[in-house]
Copies of this chain bind each other. A is one copy, B any other.
Amino acid sequence: MSVASEERAGTGGADVPSRESPLRSVTALFSGPAGRNLGLVIALALLCIVGMITAGDRFVSFDNMMTILRLASVIGVVSVGMTFVITGGGIDLSVGAIVALSSVWASTIATQTLAENTHWIVMVSTALLVGAVCGLVNGLLIAYGRMAAFIVTLAMLAGARGLAEIIAQKRTQVVTISEFIDVVGGRVLGIPVLVLIFAIVAVAGWILLNRTTFGRRTLAVGGNPEAARLAGINVKRHTTLLYVLVGVACGLAAVMLLARTTAGTSTHGMLMELDAIAAVVIGGTLLSGGRGTIVGTVFGVLIFTTLTNVFTLNNLDTSTQAVAKGVIIVVAVLLQQRVAARNGSPP
């Protein structure tokens, strides 16, 4: 049995190229990450074309682009965090509530007074810390308490929002530190700081997921937790860290909302969980874990915010918007699937 190995390439699956059709070779260009997201690119492009046709200059203007991006930024940061949790086989329903609690805690009189006497960075740290602690509680209960993520974060959803209401007494707490609003809510080189933050988070998230051991382990933990455990990964600790990560993302989102709306309230982030999960899943991250894409998530977020923008530019009424949104989601995902299937990636 001394057959040269290349004769039996079959074993390794390395015979794939030989079986490739001409069509495959053409689209092979896209079989990288770009290919996986080609459907999304097409969907977003179509949406932009519709925007351009129906709203013309009002749509393509720089200001409008920045408006879309600014709207995308808050939910985008949360969605990047959510991508990690979902890729790691979990889910977090409490993101919106954590955003609310962080925003409220960071804008209490006590915090604001302290920040006024020192530096507004105190507000920022408070929000991040509150987010991290909420995430930690989620993570510990899920990983070490072995409870279903759905249930734990649902409980956190109720608990954190209730706590936010108690702290804020259901009032809107106006942020009085104008320096904070000027900096975080302002612009650098014409680009809103919020958009920059989103960009940094997205890039950092991409690197973290695709280029670091943390990211690779996240995929392993989500894809096959038992295999990950047997490979010596501390699955519980890793899972906990994932929830802390999304908690910190929520804290950051709270900071961004504080700057954007100039107020902290317990209603911030209402239903954000659904929007974030939708963006992540539309982007191509598997809800069952083990496969995640930050680029897809960013596209998912942009599709949703562009959709709202185009709707508003066209003065559509809310009910029609809702119906159209439902149809567009289905079409976008079908498109994405067909394109992906053609590129040979698994569905």
Which A residues are within 8 Å of any B CB, using their own CB? 93, 141, 145-148, 150-152, 154-163, 165-166, 170, 274, 277-278, 281-282, 287-288, 318-327, 329-330, 333-334, 337, 347
Q: A347 — which chain B residues lie within 8 A by C-beta?
A: 146
Q: Determine the distance from Cα of A147 to Cα of B335 in the docked complex, in whole angstroms.
A: 11
One of B152, B154, B158, B277 near A323 (C-beta < 8 A): B158
Q: Determine the distance from Cα of A8 to Cα of B323 in the docked complex, in whole angstroms.
A: 63
* A154 with B329, Cβ < 8 A, contacts A145-B334, A146-B347, A337-B146 known: yes
Q: Determine the distance from Cα of A172 to Cα of B98 in the docked complex, in whole angstroms.
A: 34
CB distance from A134 to the nearest CB of B (A): 11
* A320 with B166, Cβ < 8 A, contacts A147-B330, A147-B333, A329-B158 known: yes
CB-based contact B150/A277 at 8 Å: yes
* A165 with B322, Cβ < 8 A, contacts A150-B287, A282-B151 known: yes
CB-based contact B319/A155 at 8 Å: no
Q: A157 — which chain B residues lie within 8 A by C-beta?
A: 326
Some 29 contacts from A to B, beta carbons below 8 A apart, are A93-B274, A141-B330, A145-B330, A146-B347, A148-B281, A148-B333, A150-B277, A150-B278, A151-B281, A151-B282, A152-B330, A154-B278, A155-B325, A155-B327, A155-B329, A158-B322, A158-B323, A158-B329, A159-B325, A159-B326, A161-B322, A162-B319, A162-B320, A162-B321, A162-B322, A162-B325, A162-B326, A165-B318, A165-B319
Q: A151 — which chain B residues lie within 8 A by C-beta?
A: 278, 281-282, 329-330, 333
Q: Determine the distance from Cα of A274 to Cα of B96 in the docked complex, in whole angstroms.
A: 14
Most chain B CB within 10 A, of A154, A156, A288, is at A154
Q: How many copies does the complex hold?
A: 2
Q: Determine the distance from Cα of A131 to Cα of B172 in the docked complex, in whole angstroms.
A: 40
CB-based contact A166/B329 at 8 Å: no
Q: A150 — which chain B residues lie within 8 A by C-beta?
A: 277-278, 281, 287
CB-based contact A322/B278 at 8 Å: no
Q: Determine the distance from Cα of A159 to Cα of B327 in the docked complex, in whole angstroms.
A: 7
16 additional A-B pairs beyond A152-B330, A154-B274, beta carbons within 8 Å, are: A147-B334, A147-B337, A148-B281, A150-B281, A150-B287, A151-B330, A154-B278, A155-B326, A158-B323, A158-B326, A160-B326, A162-B319, A162-B323, A163-B319, A165-B319, A170-B319
Q: Determine the distance from Cα of A281 to Cα of B158 in the docked complex, in whole angstroms.
A: 16
CB distance from A264 to the nearest CB of B (A): 16
Q: Determine the distance from Cα of A282 to Cα of B163 in the docked complex, in whole angstroms.
A: 23
Task: Tell me the nearest residue of chain B to A275, going by C-beta.
Answer: B154
Task: Tell me the nearest residue of chain B to A331, going by C-beta.
Answer: B155
The 4 closest A-B pairs by CB, nearest first: A162-B322, A159-B326, A165-B319, A162-B323
Q: Determine the distance from Cα of A172 to Cα of B206 in the docked complex, in whole angstroms.
A: 48
Q: Determine the distance from Cα of A157 to Cα of B327 in the docked complex, in whole angstroms.
A: 11
Q: Determine the distance from Cα of A177 to Cα of B150 in the docked complex, in whole angstroms.
A: 41
